[in-house]
């Protein structure tokens, strides 16, 4: 039944705002009083942060609504507001994420377009490789090197379990890349490792079972990172499930550096990396490829007969050939083989079947014998 006009009063009338009414403000707080902090852990929507890099001033924070789905990873420099007491049950808010100086990225495989950020703002990448149990995998090291060069990190090769097998041949395979190599076997002192890590934020990566967490426990005795054993088929088991940044003990209770222990990585996709990205990481090679023809992949003849890397001499040429090996390994590219070089390829496979040589060392020897063409330098 409809209402009669006389039954209405002023409470039934909705007055629409005029054009002069003040709209809702879009001015957001500037958070000028926010505290600087570094993210040291991530766990199910909660971020552990240390204020001003002080391990004793640790707080738990959430991501502010205005950040939306902005990724926040270990190593990020952030700004915090809210409860910064660090007491049990307290919760701060991350309101800003500073621009990242370096980024270590990977994809699930070489066809996955989605990039995953492993760590941010790390100065160095410590690539941990075991000499045995599990056996060393040159392909993983090569891909980690490519990701480090592209992301702006300084790579370091760390060889563990050197008491089980010799590391000389494996380390020599990367000599032309000027890659620092340190050894951290059970009986090896850690003085060289500590000297490289001091004053830097260093991320550790490697396959499961290579000894990352064991190394972290030696470097940071209070870390108590879980360690495991290698299965009977030569594969490690995941013990670290989350990335965490830990301070290296120093004098006067001040950290002498930070290390980031990461979970074991089974695959290191590089769908986001191009050949130019890798070559541009080297200053002397960056200038040379400016003379390369358009579309050059820098793999050399016969696919790139006019590549400018072949015009270099001396140490730059040797470095260029080492980078070319790296490009071939990352892109899974092999040179076209003619009848003249077929016996050399057969020799490579025969030597690899003996189990006494690595792929990198065999490719270096094969190149010296003319697998990629004859070059006198």
3-class DSSP assignment, residue 332: coil
DSSP state of 328: H
Distance CA 144, CA 207 (A): 11
Q: Are 373 and 300 in contact (CB under 8 A)?
A: yes
Complete domains list, the chain, with CATH: 35-97 (2.40.50.140), 103-261 (3.40.50.300), 275-368 (no CATH)
Q: Which residue has the higher pLDDT, 361 or 131?
A: 131
Read off the pLDDT of each residue in 4-28 and give the average, rounded to a whole number. 70
Give the per-residue pLDDT at 123. 96
Enumerate residues 6+ apart whose C-beta is below 8 A from 180.
156, 157, 196
Q: Is residue 373 scored above 80 in pLDDT?
A: no
- DSSP-derived secondary structure for 262-311: ----S--B-TT--HHHHHTTSHHHHHHGGGSPTT--S--TTT-TT-GGGG
pLDDT level of residue 369 (50, 70, 90 thresholds): low
Chain centroid, CA 29 distance in Å: 34
Specify the pairing of strand 58-63 against strand 46-51: antiparallel
Structure tokens given for 240:
């670290």
Specify the pairing of strand 103-106 against strand 77-82: unpaired
Question: What phi, psi does 108 have (nearest 5°)?
Answer: -65, -40
Give the per-residue pLDDT at 230. 43
Work out the percent of the chain whose per-residue pLDDT is above 70: 79
Give the per-residue pLDDT at 228. 47
Read off the pLDDT of each residue in 120-147 and give the average, rounded to a whole number. 90
The residues facing 160 across adjacent strands are: 130
Q: Is residue 226 scored above 60 in pLDDT?
A: no
Query: Which of these, 75, 55, 74, 71, lies nearest to 121 by C-alpha position?
Result: 75
Give the end-to-end CA distance of the chain in Å, rounded to a whole number. 102
Give the per-residue pLDDT at 185. 86
pLDDT in tens, 179-206: 999 999 888 899 999 999 999 999 999 9
pLDDT level of residue 169 (50, 70, 90 thresholds): confident
Give the per-residue pLDDT at 221. 85
Q: Is residue 238 scored above 50 in pLDDT?
A: no
61, containing H or E segment: strand 58-63
CA atoms within 13 A on the CB side of 268: 27
Q: Are 95 and 116 in contact (CB under 8 A)?
A: no
pLDDT in tens, 20-40: 666 677 777 888 899 999 999
pLDDT level of residue 46 (50, 70, 90 thresholds): very high
Least confident window among 47-51, 64-68, 280-284 = 280-284
pLDDT in tens, 308-328: 998 988 888 888 888 888 888
Least confident window among 9-13, 53-57, 253-257, 292-296 = 9-13
Q: Are 332 and 340 in contact (CB under 8 A)?
A: no
Enumerate residues 6+ apart whose C-beta is below 8 A from 216.
204, 223, 225, 246, 259, 261
Give the per-residue pLDDT at 17. 67
Q: Is residue 364 scored above 80 in pLDDT?
A: no
Question: What phi, psi does 95 have (nearest 5°)?
Answer: -110, -15
């Amino acid at each position: 039944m409809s209402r009669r006009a006389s039954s209405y009063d002023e409470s039934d009338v909705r007055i629409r705002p005029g054009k002069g009414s003040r709209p809702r403000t879009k001015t957001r707080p500037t958070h000028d009083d926010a505290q600087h902090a570094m993210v040291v852990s991530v766990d199910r929507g909660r971020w552990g942060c240390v204020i001003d890099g002080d391990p004793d001033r640790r707080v738990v924070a959430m991501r502010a609504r205005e950040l939306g789905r902005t990724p926040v990873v270990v190593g990020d420099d952030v700004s915090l507001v809210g409860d910064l007491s660090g007491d049990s049950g307290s919760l701060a808010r991350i309101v800003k994420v500073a621009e990242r100086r370096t980024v270590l990225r990977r994809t699930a495989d070489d066809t996955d377009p989605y990039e995953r950020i492993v760590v941010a703002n790390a100065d160095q990448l410590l690539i941990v490789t075991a000499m045995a149990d599990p056996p060393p995998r040159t392909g993983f090291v090569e891909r980690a090197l490519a990701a480090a060069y592209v992301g702006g990190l300084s790579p370091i090769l760390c060889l563990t379990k050197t008491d089980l097998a010799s590391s000389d041949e494996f380390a020599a395979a990367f000599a032309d890349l000027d890659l620092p190599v340190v050894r951290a076997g059970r009986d090896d002192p850690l003085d060289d490792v500590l000297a490289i890590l001091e004053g830097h934020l260093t991320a550790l990566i490697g396959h499961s079972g290579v000894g990352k967490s064991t190394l972290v426990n030696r470097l940071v005795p209070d870390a108590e990172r879980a360690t495991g054993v290698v299965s009977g088929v030569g594969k490690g088991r995941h013990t670290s499930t989350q990335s965490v940044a830990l301070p290296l003990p120093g004098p006067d209770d001040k950290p002498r550096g930070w290390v980031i222990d990461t979970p074991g990585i089974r695959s290191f996709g590089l769908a986001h990396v191009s050949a130019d990205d890798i070559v541009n990481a080297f200053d002397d090679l960056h200038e040379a490829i400016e003379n390369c023809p358009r579309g050059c992949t820098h793999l050399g003849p016969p696919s790139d007969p006019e590549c400018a890397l072949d015009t270099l001499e001396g140490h730059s040429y040797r470095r260029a050939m080492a980078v070319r090996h790296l490009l071939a390994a990352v892109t899974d590219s092999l040179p076209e083989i003619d009848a003249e070089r077929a016996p050399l390829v057969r020799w490579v496979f025969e030597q690899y079947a003996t189990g006494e040589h690595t792929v990198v060392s065999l490719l270096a020897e094969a190149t010296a014998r003319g697998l990629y063409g004859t070059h006198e330098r």
